[in-house]
Copies of this chain bind each other. A is one copy, B any other.
Amino acid sequence: MQVNIYFCAVKQKNIEHRSTCPISTALDIFGDKWSLLIVRDLMFNQKKTYGEFLQSEERIATNILADRLLLLEMGGIISKEEHPDSKAKVLYKLTTKGIDLIPTMVEIILWSEKHHEVHPFASRFARMVKKDKDGILKQIKQGLKSK
Protein backbone atom coordinates (compact mmCIF):
# COMPACT_ATOMS: atom_id res chain seq x y z
CA MET A 1 0.00 0.00 0.00
CA GLN A 2 1.61 3.22 -1.16
CA VAL A 3 0.57 6.84 -1.46
CA ASN A 4 0.85 8.78 -4.70
CA ILE A 5 1.66 12.44 -5.17
CA TYR A 6 -2.02 13.40 -4.86
CA PHE A 7 -2.18 11.83 -1.38
CA CYS A 8 -4.71 9.40 -2.64
CA ALA A 9 -4.07 5.90 -1.33
CA VAL A 10 -3.05 3.60 -4.14
CA LYS A 11 -2.31 -0.06 -4.06
CA GLN A 12 0.91 -0.92 -5.73
CA LYS A 13 3.34 -3.74 -6.09
CA ASN A 14 6.56 -3.00 -7.85
CA ILE A 15 7.77 -5.91 -9.84
CA GLU A 16 11.54 -6.17 -9.66
CA HIS A 17 13.36 -7.55 -12.64
CA ARG A 18 16.32 -9.68 -11.70
CA SER A 19 17.86 -9.56 -15.14
CA THR A 20 17.07 -8.81 -18.79
CA CYS A 21 16.61 -12.51 -19.54
CA PRO A 22 13.11 -13.04 -20.94
CA ILE A 23 12.53 -16.19 -18.88
CA SER A 24 13.60 -14.47 -15.69
CA THR A 25 11.47 -11.41 -16.52
CA ALA A 26 8.44 -13.65 -17.11
CA LEU A 27 9.01 -15.49 -13.83
CA ASP A 28 9.23 -12.16 -12.02
CA ILE A 29 5.59 -11.72 -13.00
CA PHE A 30 4.05 -15.18 -12.89
CA GLY A 31 6.69 -17.38 -11.25
CA ASP A 32 4.61 -18.81 -8.41
CA LYS A 33 2.10 -21.55 -7.75
CA TRP A 34 -1.06 -19.44 -8.21
CA SER A 35 -0.82 -16.67 -10.81
CA LEU A 36 -1.15 -18.89 -13.87
CA LEU A 37 -4.14 -20.66 -12.31
CA ILE A 38 -5.96 -17.33 -12.33
CA VAL A 39 -4.89 -16.83 -15.93
CA ARG A 40 -6.13 -20.35 -16.69
CA ASP A 41 -9.55 -19.59 -15.18
CA LEU A 42 -9.82 -16.40 -17.21
CA MET A 43 -8.52 -18.02 -20.38
CA PHE A 44 -10.25 -21.40 -20.45
CA ASN A 45 -12.92 -21.50 -17.74
CA GLN A 46 -14.93 -18.34 -18.32
CA LYS A 47 -14.29 -17.16 -14.78
CA LYS A 48 -14.24 -13.44 -14.29
CA THR A 49 -14.82 -12.58 -10.62
CA TYR A 50 -13.02 -12.92 -7.30
CA GLY A 51 -15.69 -15.30 -6.07
CA GLU A 52 -15.37 -17.53 -9.12
CA PHE A 53 -11.57 -17.74 -8.79
CA LEU A 54 -12.01 -18.71 -5.13
CA GLN A 55 -14.13 -21.69 -6.10
CA SER A 56 -11.44 -23.39 -8.20
CA GLU A 57 -10.52 -26.78 -6.88
CA GLU A 58 -6.96 -25.85 -5.90
CA ARG A 59 -8.43 -23.74 -3.07
CA ILE A 60 -6.48 -20.52 -3.12
CA ALA A 61 -6.57 -18.52 0.13
CA THR A 62 -8.51 -15.24 0.02
CA ASN A 63 -5.53 -13.05 0.88
CA ILE A 64 -3.31 -14.78 -1.67
CA LEU A 65 -5.97 -14.36 -4.35
CA ALA A 66 -6.23 -10.64 -3.61
CA ASP A 67 -2.45 -10.36 -3.71
CA ARG A 68 -2.07 -12.24 -7.01
CA LEU A 69 -4.86 -10.27 -8.68
CA LEU A 70 -2.98 -7.12 -7.74
CA LEU A 71 0.33 -8.53 -8.99
CA LEU A 72 -1.21 -9.65 -12.28
CA GLU A 73 -2.73 -6.22 -12.71
CA MET A 74 0.61 -4.54 -11.97
CA GLY A 75 2.24 -6.93 -14.41
CA GLY A 76 -0.18 -5.78 -17.09
CA ILE A 77 -1.77 -9.20 -17.55
CA ILE A 78 -5.24 -8.47 -16.22
CA SER A 79 -7.41 -5.40 -15.77
CA LYS A 80 -10.43 -4.58 -13.64
CA GLU A 81 -13.75 -3.38 -14.99
CA GLU A 82 -17.21 -2.62 -13.73
CA HIS A 83 -19.41 -5.66 -13.67
CA PRO A 84 -22.53 -5.11 -15.83
CA ASP A 85 -24.78 -6.94 -13.35
CA SER A 86 -23.85 -5.28 -10.09
CA LYS A 87 -21.68 -2.62 -8.50
CA ALA A 88 -20.73 -5.10 -5.77
CA LYS A 89 -18.95 -7.28 -8.28
CA VAL A 90 -15.66 -6.66 -10.06
CA LEU A 91 -15.04 -8.03 -13.51
CA TYR A 92 -11.52 -9.15 -14.26
CA LYS A 93 -10.30 -9.47 -17.84
CA LEU A 94 -7.14 -10.53 -19.61
CA THR A 95 -5.35 -7.64 -21.29
CA THR A 96 -3.70 -8.05 -24.69
CA LYS A 97 -0.55 -9.03 -22.85
CA GLY A 98 -2.57 -11.62 -20.95
CA ILE A 99 -4.21 -12.94 -24.10
CA ASP A 100 -0.74 -13.29 -25.61
CA LEU A 101 -0.04 -15.95 -22.99
CA ILE A 102 -2.32 -18.38 -24.88
CA PRO A 103 0.54 -20.17 -26.71
CA THR A 104 2.55 -20.52 -23.49
CA MET A 105 -0.45 -21.88 -21.61
CA VAL A 106 -1.26 -24.33 -24.38
CA GLU A 107 2.31 -25.62 -24.48
CA ILE A 108 2.26 -26.15 -20.72
CA ILE A 109 -0.97 -28.12 -21.10
CA LEU A 110 0.52 -30.26 -23.89
CA TRP A 111 3.64 -30.93 -21.86
CA SER A 112 1.77 -31.74 -18.69
CA GLU A 113 -0.72 -33.96 -20.49
CA LYS A 114 2.12 -35.92 -22.05
CA HIS A 115 3.94 -36.51 -18.78
CA HIS A 116 1.26 -36.70 -16.09
CA GLU A 117 -2.13 -38.20 -15.37
CA VAL A 118 -4.47 -35.32 -15.96
CA HIS A 119 -8.20 -34.74 -16.23
CA PRO A 120 -9.83 -36.37 -19.29
CA PHE A 121 -10.90 -32.89 -20.46
CA ALA A 122 -7.23 -31.99 -20.71
CA SER A 123 -6.42 -35.08 -22.74
CA ARG A 124 -9.23 -34.34 -25.12
CA PHE A 125 -8.06 -30.74 -25.44
CA ALA A 126 -4.50 -31.91 -26.10
CA ARG A 127 -5.72 -34.20 -28.87
CA MET A 128 -7.59 -31.33 -30.50
CA VAL A 129 -4.57 -29.04 -30.30
CA LYS A 130 -2.32 -31.66 -31.86
CA LYS A 131 -4.69 -31.85 -34.82
CA ASP A 132 -4.90 -28.13 -35.48
CA LYS A 133 -2.84 -25.98 -33.14
CA ASP A 134 -3.11 -22.69 -35.05
CA GLY A 135 -6.86 -23.09 -35.39
CA ILE A 136 -7.42 -23.75 -31.69
CA LEU A 137 -5.14 -20.88 -30.67
CA LYS A 138 -7.09 -18.50 -32.88
CA GLN A 139 -10.38 -19.79 -31.57
CA ILE A 140 -9.39 -19.23 -27.94
CA LYS A 141 -8.13 -15.76 -28.81
CA GLN A 142 -11.37 -14.85 -30.54
CA GLY A 143 -13.39 -16.09 -27.58
CA LEU A 144 -11.46 -13.76 -25.30
CA LYS A 145 -11.41 -10.71 -27.54
CA SER A 146 -15.15 -10.56 -28.07
CA LYS A 147 -15.81 -10.21 -24.33
Q: Which residues of B contact A104 (CB under 8 A)?
A: 104, 107-108, 111
Counted per complex, copies of this chain come to 2
A39 to chain B, nearest CB (A): 8
- Within the complex, which residue of B24, B110, B113, B116 is in contact with A58, where a contact is CB–CB below 8 Å? B24
Q: Which residues of B contact A132 (CB under 8 A)?
A: none
Name the segment of A2-10, A30-38, A46-54 touching the other chain. A30-38
A19 at the interface (CB under 8 A from B): yes
Interface size band for A: 35 or more
Asked if A111 contacts B107 (CB within 8 A), the reply is no
- Within the complex, which residue of B21, B36, B97, B119 is in contact with A118, where a contact is CB–CB below 8 Å? B21
Binding site for B on A (CB under 8 A): 17-28, 31-34, 36-37, 40, 57-59, 76, 97, 100-101, 103-105, 107-119, 122, 126
